[in-house]
Structure 1
Amino acid sequence: MSAADVWPIVKARLELLDDARKPLIETYIAEIEHRMKHYCNIRALPDNLLYVWASMTVDAVRVDLPNADEIADTVGGGANIKVGDTSVSGGSSGSGVTNTSKAVIDQVVLDYRVDLNRYRQMRWGG
């Protein structure tokens, strides 16, 4: 499983019609991959985490880019997204994100602990 497998799922879930945002969203895909591997202490993500990876990426993108037209349209009018202590109102009304991307992504990873803990491995001293 690779980032190339995640992109089509993220694109479909965000209802993106073209690949204009692909380079930016690929950075989120890569960041989430790194965070998942780090959290689980593994070198490769198992295939069973494909949809978790895609969901985490969608969550991070929606929270971090709430005012991007394509993204705002997938949230729904007047909807609120809350990840940890970051809250964003849907639509392009000018509301902002209160945390940096790094903090948002950290919180997204922690919100998926239930899915990730099954794959988490002990790290031995080294």
Structure 2
Amino acid sequence: MAINATEIIVIVKAKMGLPGNEHDALIGLYVDEIGQRILNYCNLSEIPDGLKYTWVAMVSVALTKEQSSVLFPAPVVEEAFEISIGDTSVKQVKNPAAQVLVRPSVAIIDAVVFDYQGELNSYRKLRW
């Protein structure tokens, strides 16, 4: 029996403590990308049940490495202040917001697949 991506999204959200549907699209990108890499690496047409939690772990690692600032944003503390000495004044400058990465990067996905090769190898089929 094959696993579907929706089931993986639900498990990833539960494992990472992400309530609601706010990040479903982002998590879905990673689930699809990692799922495709598992299929390609193992030469399979569908991902078997035995790799369900490996798939979840791989998605969780990739999300944590690349999107932790998006999934778990730091609380915004804005303290407006101005310091004046004589005729010179200094105001606090806001840091520009970090650019949000909206798709999985190849380097991180490759590293995750490499890290989980041991678990994937037991399901790998050779092509002739």
TM-score by structure 2 length? 0.72
Residues 9-88 of structure 1: matches in 2 within 5 Å? 9-70=11-72
The alignment-based identity, stated in percent, is 37
Unaligned runs of 5+ in 1: 73-93
Deviations 1:40-79 (A, max 9, x none): 111111011000000000000000113125277xxxxxxx
TM-score by structure 1 length? 0.73
Q: Quick one: which amino acid aligns to residue 116 of structure 2?
A: Y
Q: Do the aligned partners of 1:32 and 1:57 also contact (CA within 8 Å) in 2?
A: yes
Report how far residue 24 of structure 1 moved: 1.0
Q: How many residues align?
A: 100
Q: Which has the higher contact order (CA 8 A, sep 6+)?
A: 2
Rg larger for = 2
Is 1:106 aligned with 2:110? yes
Q: Do the aligned partners of 1:62 and 1:71 also contact (CA within 8 Å) in 2?
A: no
Q: Quick one: which amino acid aligns to residue 102 of structure 1?
A: V
Distance in 1 between residues matched to 2:71 and 2:47, nearest whole Å: 31
The structure richer in helix per residue is 1
Unaligned runs of 5+ in 2: 75-97
